[in-house]
Chain A
Amino acid sequence: MLSIFNSIPTHMDYKGQKLAEQIFQGIIIISAVVGFVYGLIIQQFGWTVYIVLTGFVVSCIMTLPPWPMYRRNPLPWQPVIPETSAESSQKKKKHK
């Protein structure tokens, strides 16, 4: 059961993580400013809270799933080097 959840890819690459953080901070701060001004004008603090909650939901949708735009810069890993001799693997086992 858990393996099904673990098999869903959720990771972002490093630039994607930075982008996601900037996006949700921007959305929440903008919604906070808009909500504060609107609430101050109509003198209802409840509307401020609703607008910030809307920003929260929008940024959840935008940044929680690993959308393709957060996975555009994958790390260039070294190619797998095949093990040459049996001795090296034995030494590693001893260390463990």
Chain B
Amino acid sequence: MNTVLSRANSLFAFSLSVMAALTFGCFITTAFKDRTVPVDVRVSKVMLRNVDDFTGPRERSDLGFITFDLSADLQPIFDWNVKQLFLYLSAEYTTKSNSLNQVVLWDKIVLRGESNKLNLRETKSKYFFFDDGNGLRANKNITLTLSWNVVPNAGILPLVAGSGHISLSFPDKYETPKSY
């Protein structure tokens, strides 16, 4: 503490310690918060095709097309320890070859300060809904769930599933692709 540099050093070290304590306080005030909100998922159109999957098993695989409505109020999730949300809509189903299949159909990043109301109508899925075989045809229980990762300032990175999901069944027949 005798020279300017030693004072600057202790001042800086003390400020950093205080800042670390505050960051921990920010984490602890939000650590036990429930970040689940109700989500309303509806499916308006389902279509099934059997096409060549050039990325996968080199066979004709099932490709589903889903048009969905999605609405949720994300406002209760945000607080001072949330920087952004990564939302994704995933489909879960069971086939003969796999007991659990999970396919992400759509995703979105919601930043802090953006519009917190999620309201989508007649939205097409962002990614291909490919099965790695023929497990989609006549599958009676395909569950669509909206989940999100909460990206915090400090602390854990929780993965939350929204309450509210929908089960849908795929048709028994393939829709024949039109050839032009």
- A residues with a Cβ closer than 8 A to B are 10-12, 17, 20-21, 24-25, 28-29, 32, 35-36, 39-40, 42-45, 48-49, 52, 55-56, 59-60, 63-66
CA distance A65 to B4 in the complex (A): 7
CA distance A52 to B78 in the complex (A): 23
Contact A20 B18 (CB under 8 A): no
Considering the complex of A and B, which 8 residue pairs feature the smallest CB-CB distances, nearest first? A17-B1, A43-B80, A45-B80, A10-B4, A56-B15, A32-B18, A24-B11, A10-B3
Size band of the B side of the interface?
20 to 34
Task: Report the minimal beta-carbon distance from A50 to chain B, rounded to whole angstroms.
Answer: 12
Which residue of chain A is the closest to B113 with respect to CB atoms?
A44
CA distance A39 to B7 in the complex (A): 29
At the interface, yes or no: B29 with Cβ under 8 Å from chain A?
yes
At the interface, yes or no: B2 with Cβ under 8 Å from chain A?
yes
- B residues with a Cβ closer than 8 A to A are 1-4, 7-8, 10-12, 14-15, 18-19, 21-22, 25-26, 29, 78-81, 153
16 CB < 8 A contacts A-B: A24-B7, A24-B11, A24-B14, A25-B14, A28-B14, A28-B18, A35-B22, A36-B25, A40-B80, A43-B80, A45-B26, A45-B153, A48-B22, A52-B15, A64-B11, A66-B4
Contact A11 B2 (CB under 8 A): yes
Task: Report the minimal beta-carbon distance from B154 to chain A, rounded to whole angstroms.
Answer: 8
Of A11, A24, A44, A55, which one neighbours B80 at CB under 8 angstroms?
A44
Contact B81 A45 (CB under 8 A): yes
CA distance A14 to B52 in the complex (A): 82
